[in-house]
Structure 1
Amino acid sequence: MGSIFSYFISVTQKNDLYSNILSFLAGLFASFFIISVYKNRKEYKFYITILFLFDAFAFSLLLILFNWGLTNNIRSNMLQAMMLKREQKMNQDLENLGCDEIQGFIFGKSVPPDTFEMAHILPIKKQVMFSPVSSIL
């Protein structure tokens, strides 16, 4: 009962360390309450053992879920930081090139301005791409 309670608290709340610890403590408190009520009755010792095993399983499941969520969060934050750094570097490179040079820049090679006027340029994520289909049209 305490394990189920702690699991549902951890699922409905944010997946952070404090909510997992609080939910585990709430589940542990509920388990100890049940044990203190039924500890003197011999017919319930089997059920109390099962309850402890279930609590241990639920706590290990909570730790696994927390570590998985933490790992995914760290991985996504690192990926966002790398993409932001890459975008800032591209913006700085584009600013360093200057506007005239960017317009004559196709597939990494400089193109004379008259050729550029005949080509159709599509901006894709701040990169310039040559499109022969639209130049034919």
Structure 2
Amino acid sequence: MRRLIITALAALAVESEAATYTLNRVSHYNAVRSQTDRNPRMSACGPTRKGQIALSRDLLRQVGCGAHVRITINGKSRVYVVNDTMHRRYRRTADILVNRVGTARKLGVSRGTLTVLRKGRPYRG
């Protein structure tokens, strides 16, 4: 019992130290040629996969490739894996991968917060 309490307290301490960033823009994209480069199956950090997110370069340098992050929009949150980057003109921005163009349009653009749950490997792009 004592070990369980200590483990829970340690987890709370780690969670409270997690870096949190305000996102000026959270949008949605599809892995299609018109929205990516010539090869939509490859992301900046590896193969494109379900549940990935692209970050602006300023944030990607902070959290790294493969980081696990929680994105909160309008009180709803979900965990994603950082696997891609965005054009250099964006700052404090996240782009969430979705399956359909209609879904991306329906979800639109909003503001949110990003909480780093686990840092990834350094991005050198």
Query: TM-score, normalised on structure 2?
Result: 0.28
More helix by share: 1
Which of the two has higher C-alpha Rg? 1
Query: TM-score, normalised on structure 1?
Result: 0.26
More strand by share: 2
Higher relative contact order (CA 8 A, sep 6+): 2
